[in-house]
Structure 1
């Protein structure tokens, strides 16, 4: 038997004011997207904003359905829209923010597992890491320099 140790490195900012202006602007776009979430069942609104290498900002919000598996998270909504509208552009940065109608979300909320897998696919496809910033409604912001930090031992096309 051999034991392996997997570690990751993330940066934590006290709040959005510590972010660069371009990331603050991206997070504001994510907040605006979050306001358009359709979440009548979970009451958990999420917004995502992507900065593409062509300068475009693409947004997405979670869209629920009474048949839960039919809904889509904000991150995947934004990533898939970027892939459909700008298929040759790379995703440079992603900002994510989440709020709950049931409680205050004052700690950073990372993407779910399905979204991590989807973002990973695009990161591998573009052969370039995606900077990911995530937060609740207020408080600390976490930055990952790559999705690989959030999904070690990821599943990709090499296994197929």
Structure 2
């Protein structure tokens, strides 16, 4: 038996004010998107903003459904919209923020597993990383240089 060690290289900022200006602006857009969330069941609002290589910014918010599998997370809403509206344009940065209507979310909230897989698909497609910044409602912000820091053993088209 052989063991391997998998590690992540993440940056942690004490708050939004420590982020580069362009990321602060993206986070503001993610907060705006978060407030447009349709989340009557979980009461958990998530907003995402993606900066594209052509300078455009695409946003998304989570959209729930009484039939839970039919809903969609904020990250995938934004990613799929960007892929449909701007095919072939690289995604540079993805930022996301979450808040609950039941309690204060002061812990950085990373993308769920399905969203990580979707991000991985687009990193492979564009042959380049997407920087990911995530936070709760307040507090620290985490930066991953690529989805490989959050999903080190990705499943991609090389397995098909």
**What is the Cα deviation at residue 50 of structure 1?**
0.1
Structure 2 residue 42 is matched with structure 1 residue 12: no
2:38: which partner in 1? 38
State the 1:86 CA deviation.
0.1
Q: 1:110 maps to which residue?
A: 110
Map Cα deviations across residues 79-105 of structure 1 (whole Å, 9 max, x no partner). 000000000100000110000011100
Instruction: Give ranges in structure 2 of 5+ residues lacking alignment.
Output: none
Cα separation, 1, equivalents of 2:124 and 2:150: 14
Task: Output the aligned Cα RMSD.
Answer: 0.4
Q: Secondary structure at the match of 1:50?
A: strand
Aligned to 1:140: 140
Q: What is the distance in 1 between the residues matched to 2:86 and 2:131?
A: 18
Q: Describe the SS at the equivalent of 1:151.
A: coil
Distance 1:8 1:72 in 2: 27
Partner of 1:94: 94
CA distance in 2, matches of 1:16, 1:101: 21
Unaligned stretches of 5+ residues in structure 1 = none
CA distance in 2, matches of 1:127, 1:28: 28
List per-residue Cα deviations over 1:41-98 (Å, max 9, x = no partner): 0100000000000000000000000000000000000000000000010000011000
Give the number of equivalent residue pairs: 160
Q: Given the two structures, how large is their TM-score scaled by the length of structure 2?
A: 0.99
- TM-score, with structure 1 as normaliser: 0.99
